[in-house]
Structure 1
Amino acid sequence: MRKSSLATSNPLITHLGDFPRGDALTKILFRRAEYGINERTHSKEDRIGYLSRLSSTFYPRPEYLRYSMLFDRLVRAGYEPRRNLIEGNGPSLCERSPGIVYNTAKTLPIDGSCLLLAGATGSGKTYITKLICAQYPEYIDHGQITKGRIQLVQIPVLYVRCPSNGSLISLGRAFFLALDERLQLHGFYSKRAEKTSASTEDLSQAMSQACKTHAIGALVFDEFQDLMDASHKSSRGIINFLLSLRDTIKVPIVYVGTFPMLSLFGNDGRSARRSAAGGAVLIARFPSHDDEIWMAMCDAYWAAQWTKKPSKLTPQLRKLIYSLSQGIPDYFHQVFVRAQELAIESGHERLDEDTLQDAFDYRCQALHTTVAALAKGTRSEIHAFRDLSHPWVEPVPRRARGTK
Structure 2
Amino acid sequence: MKSLKKATNTVLIGDLVDANYKKQSLSEYKNNPFIEALPPIFNEDDVLERFMVTPRITEQDKKSEKNIRYHVLKRVKNFIQPLPIHFEVERRLSTLIRRGYLARNPLDKSFLERIRVLHQLREDENEAHKYIYERLNYIRSTADSLSIIGISGIGKTTAIERLLLMYPQVIKHETYEGQPFSRTQIVWLKIDCPYDGSLSTLCKSFFKAIDDLLGTRYLEKYGYLSRVTSTMLLHMTSLASMYGIGVLVIDEIQHLLHSKNDQEEMLNFIVTLSNTVGIPTVLIGTSKAQKLFKGNFRQARRAASEGSIIWDRMAEDSEEWEFFLETLWELECLITRSEITDEVKKTFYDECQGITSVAVCLFILAQERAMFDDDNVNEIIDSKVLKKTAKEDMQIIQSMMKAIRTNNLKDMMKYEDIMINLDELMINHKRDTKLEGEIRKGFTERQNTLDYKRRDITESLSVEISALGIFDSLNVNDIRTLITKIVENNPINMEFNLLKTDAIQQAIILNQQKKMKKEPRVKKLLLLPLLEIRTKALEKKNHPYEALLKSGYIKNPLYEFYN
Asked whether the two chains share a fold, i.e. TM above 0.5, the reply is: yes
Specify the alignment match of 1:345 in structure 2: 372
Q: Distance in 1 between matches of 2:301 and 2:314?
A: 22
Q: Distance in 2 between matches of 1:77 and 1:113?
A: 8
Q: Does 1:265 align with 2:286?
A: no
2:348 partner amino acid: I
Please state how far the C-alpha of 1:393 moved relative to its aligned partner: 6.6
Please state how far the C-alpha of 1:146 moved relative to its aligned partner: 7.5
Q: Distance in 1 between matches of 2:298 and 2:344?
A: 39
Specify the alignment match of 2:241 in structure 1: 212
Q: Distance in 2 between matches of 1:3 and 1:156?
A: 20
Q: Does 1:323 align with 2:350?
A: yes
* Counterpart among 175, 179, 188 of residue 217 in structure 2: 188
Aligned length: 383
* Counterpart among 267, 290, 293 of residue 320 in structure 2: 293
The answer to whether the Cα contact below 8 Å between 2:198 and 2:260 also exists between their aligned partners in 1 is no
Deviations 1:11-31 (A, max 9, x none): 111110213212332333333
- The 3 A distance-change label for structure 1 pair 291 and 158 is same
Q: Distance in 1 between matches of 2:228 and 2:415?
A: 34
The answer to whether the Cα contact below 8 Å between 1:331 and 1:367 also exists between their aligned partners in 2 is no
Q: Does 1:162 align with 2:193?
A: yes
User: How do residues 169-318 of structure 1 correspond to structure 2 at under 5 angstroms?
Assistant: 169-183=200-214, 185=215, 187-195=216-224, 197-228=226-257, 230-231=258-259, 233-267=261-295, 272=300, 275-288=303-316, 290-318=317-345
Deviations 1:221-267 (A, max 9, x none): 11111222x33543233223223323431211111111211221225
* Counterpart among 101, 110, 114 of residue 145 in structure 2: 114
Q: Comparing both structures, which one devotes a greater share of its residues to helix?
A: 2
In our comparison, the structure showing a higher alpha carbon Rg is 2
Q: Distance in 2 between matches of 1:386 and 1:332?
A: 20
> Structure 2 length as normaliser, TM-score?
0.63
Identify which range, 346-355 or 361-370, moves more after superposition: 346-355
SS at match of 1:387: helix
Q: Distance in 2 between matches of 1:175 and 1:309?
A: 51
Q: Distance in 2 between matches of 1:197 and 1:69?
A: 41
2:107 partner amino acid: I
The answer to whether the Cα contact below 8 Å between 1:220 and 1:256 also exists between their aligned partners in 2 is yes
Q: Distance in 2 between matches of 1:340 and 1:22?
A: 33
Q: Does 1:22 align with 2:44?
A: yes
Q: Distance in 2 between matches of 1:270 and 1:213?
A: 30
1:117 partner amino acid: I
Specify the alignment match of 2:172 in structure 1: 141
Query: Percentage identity across aligned positions?
Result: 25
Name stretches of at least 5 consecutive residues in structure 2 with no aligned partner. Answer: 1-22, 122-135, 425-563
SS at match of 2:142: coil
The answer to whether the Cα contact below 8 Å between 1:285 and 1:389 also exists between their aligned partners in 2 is no
Q: Which has the higher contact order (CA 8 A, sep 6+)?
A: 1
Q: Distance in 1 between matches of 2:185 and 2:140?
A: 17
Name the Cα RMSD after superposition: 2.9
Q: Distance in 1 between matches of 2:246 and 2:112?
A: 22
> Structure 1 length as normaliser, TM-score?
0.86
User: How do residues 50-129 of structure 1 correspond to structure 2 at under 5 angstroms?
Assistant: 50-83=72-105, 85-87=106-108, 104=119, 109-129=140-160
- The 3 A distance-change label for structure 1 pair 311 and 38 is same
Specify the alignment match of 2:433 in structure 1: none
SS at match of 1:243: helix
Deviations 1:136-190 (A, max 9, x none): 112111222286755210111111122223222221111112112222x1x5122
- The 3 A distance-change label for structure 1 pair 150 and 87 is farther
Please state how far the C-alpha of 1:76 moved relative to its aligned partner: 0.3
Deviations 1:273-320 (A, max 9, x none): 5531123211112232x2211111111211111122221111111100
The answer to whether the Cα contact below 8 Å between 1:48 and 1:341 also exists between their aligned partners in 2 is yes
1:353 partner amino acid: S
